[in-house]
Amino acid sequence: SSELTQDPAVSVALGQPARITCQGDSLRKYYASWFQQKPGRAPVLVIFGKNNRPSGIPDRFSVSSSGNSVSLTITGAQAEDEADYFCNSRDSSGKHLVFGGGTKLTVL
Amino acid sequence: EMQLIESGGGLVQPGRSLRLSCAASGFTFDDYAMHWVRQAPGKGLEWVSGISWNSGITGYADSVKGRFTISRDNAKNSLYLQMDSLRVEDTALYYCAKDEGSYYGGAFDIWGQGTKVTVSS
């Protein structure tokens, strides 16, 4: 079982904010990264570190944290944001990396 | 353009070995940590192994420790994964991924398209 927990599915109406959460004890100490994966495609990094977006990632993607939980927020979800989202971080030992189980985002 | 191209996947019997390769281009390979990540059919992502820029630090998921070996050749801009004692549960699409830092922090900013490994008798 993963040391990072994500809700399996989240739905959001077009244009509304979407929030995807990742929980794990290691998140109290280490930053998480977030990846978007569309069917048949390789994952794409969307957020890393405190709140860093790689070049080309829209500014509607942001991250916040509280305790052992990190949340990816999409302000004004678009149809093209429909995808699987995965968080990752170090595990509780700090020596290895681990992914959350993933969240399927549906934009209605 | 920064690019990673994996190769070496295929169909192999349980207990046999396979070596994956990843050719990097478009960036200074020896500045960055590199990783292997796999995805079983219909499943999520699993970090398999990582290696720091100078090979000084390597790490493995518990599921592959003692069976897989990661290595890199900075002169050839290449990353490798030697997979021994393969099991049916190792069946997956294996991605090569570049870390945004020189030690592994988990922000994989460049991914290859993956190479498929099928372990079956």
pLDDT in tens, A72-90: 999 999 999 999 999 999 9
Q: What phi and psi, each to the nearest 5 degrees, are found at residue B16? A: -90, 180
Chain B hits for A35, Cβ within 8 Å: 45, 108
In this prediction, residue A55 carries a pLDDT of 94
Chain B hits for A99, Cβ within 8 Å: 37, 44-47
Task: Tell me how many degrees the CA angle B2-A50-A15 measures, rounded to the nearest 5.
Answer: 85
Enter the DSSP assignment of A63. Answer: E
In this prediction, residue B60 carries a pLDDT of 96
Q: Do B59 and A43 touch (CB under 8 A)?
A: no
- Give the residue from chain A lying closest to B59, CA to CA: A96
Residue A25 confidence (pLDDT) above 70: yes
Residue A1 confidence (pLDDT) above 80: no
In this prediction, residue B102 carries a pLDDT of 82
Q: How far apart are CA B56 and CA B78, in angstroms?
A: 16
Chain B hits for A54, Cβ within 8 Å: 109
Residues with Cβ within 8 Å of B47's Cβ and at least 6 positions away in sequence, in order, are: A88, A96, A97, A98, A99, B35, B36, B37, B61
Residue B56 confidence (pLDDT) above 80: yes
Contact of B104 with chain A, judged by CB distance below 8 Å, is answered with: yes
Residue B11 confidence (pLDDT) above 90: yes
Residue A93 confidence (pLDDT) above 90: no
Chain B hits for A70, Cβ within 8 Å: none
What average pLDDT does the structure give for chain B? 96
Chain A hits for B59, Cβ within 8 Å: 95-97
Largest CA distance in chain B: 40
Burial of residue A103 (CB within 10 Å: 0-12, 13-18, 19+) is buried
Q: Do A42 and B105 touch (CB under 8 A)?
A: no
Q: Do B109 and A48 touch (CB under 8 A)?
A: yes
Q: Do B59 and A95 touch (CB under 8 A)?
A: yes
Give the minimum alpha-carbon distance from A103 to chain B in angstroms, rounded to a whole number.
9
In this prediction, residue A2 carries a pLDDT of 59
Q: What's the rounded mean pLDDT across residues A9-36? A: 96
Task: Tell me how many degrees the CA angle B65-A33-B115 measures, rounded to the nearest 5.
Answer: 50
Q: Do B45 and A35 touch (CB under 8 A)?
A: yes
- CB B73 within 8 Å of CB B82: no
Contact of B103 with chain A, judged by CB distance below 8 Å, is answered with: no
